[in-house]
Amino acid sequence: MPEKKRPRIPPLLLPIGAGALVVIAVAIALILVSGGDKTADPGPGTSTTPATPTAPYTPPAGAIPVEFGVSVVPLPGWTVLETEKRGKELVTYAPNGDPRGFFWVRQKQNVAAGAYLLAIIEGETENEIAHLGKQRNLPCPKDVLEECIAMSYTSTAKDKTGADVAVQGYVEVYVRKDKVATAIDFRTRVDYAPKAEADAIQMKTSVLNSL
C-alpha cells in the first residue's frame, strides 16, 4: 500500500510558530509571577528630594544691631557715635582726636532707592565743594534683594581750624523685597583712605551678610 503523505508545513512558518510559543510561555510566566494582577506596581518612580530650608542668619559676636534684622560688626578702632540716633554710625579718630573716617548704616521703608541715595550724599556734602560720580547698579549679593545701587563722590571740607580737608566717600543702597532699604554711607579723609577703605570692606560684608 502506498505510504500516506503527511501534510507538509512550509519551512517559513516553523520559526513563526516557535516564536509564538515562546511569547505565550513568557506571558504565562509573568502572570504567575505577578499573580495575574494588572495593577501591579511598575516599580519606584522618580523621587524628589525636598529643598533644605535656609538657616536663619545668626549675627557673630560683637555685631551691633541696626534694625529690621540688619547688623554691623565694627573693626578695632571704630566705635559707635552715640549722638547719632538714626541707624548706627561708626567713627574712627586720629591720635589728636579728630574724626578721620565714618561708616554709617541707616534704613528706611518704602522709599525709592535712587532718591534715598541722592538725599544722603547731598546731606553729606552740604556746604562742601563736591564732585559726584554717576549712579551705578550693583550686583545684588542675595536673593532677598531687588535693587542695589551706588554712587561715589569727592569733596573739600573744612576741619575745626578752617583748613581744607580732601574727602572721599560713597553711598550704597540695598533694597529688600520687603521694601526695607539699607544704606551704607562711607566717608573718609583722603590721607587716611587706604586704611579706612580696607576696614569698610570688611564692615560692609558683615552688613550684607545680615540683609
CATH code, domain carrying 203: 3.40.1000.10
In a domain, 127, yes or no: yes
Q: What is the mean pLDDT of the chain?
A: 82
| 115 within some domain | yes
Q: Give the per-residue pLDDT at 55.
A: 67
- Smallest CA-to-CA distance from 183 within 19, 66, 47, 38 is with 66
Round to whole Å and give the CA distance between 201 and 204: 5
As a whole number, mean pLDDT of residues 34-61 equals: 57
**Is pLDDT of 74 > 50?**
yes
Q: How many domains does the chain have?
A: 1
Nearest-angstrom CA–CA distance, 195 and 198: 5
Residue 15 resides in a domain: no
Note whether residue 88 is domain-resident: yes
Which domain does 149 fall in, by range? 64-210
Q: What's the rounded mean pLDDT across residues 20-45?
A: 43
CA atoms within 13 A on the CB side of 182: 26
- As a whole-number percent, the residues of the chain with pLDDT over 70 amount to 74
HSE (CB half, 13 Å, CA atoms) of 37?
7
Q: Is residue 3 part of a domain?
A: no
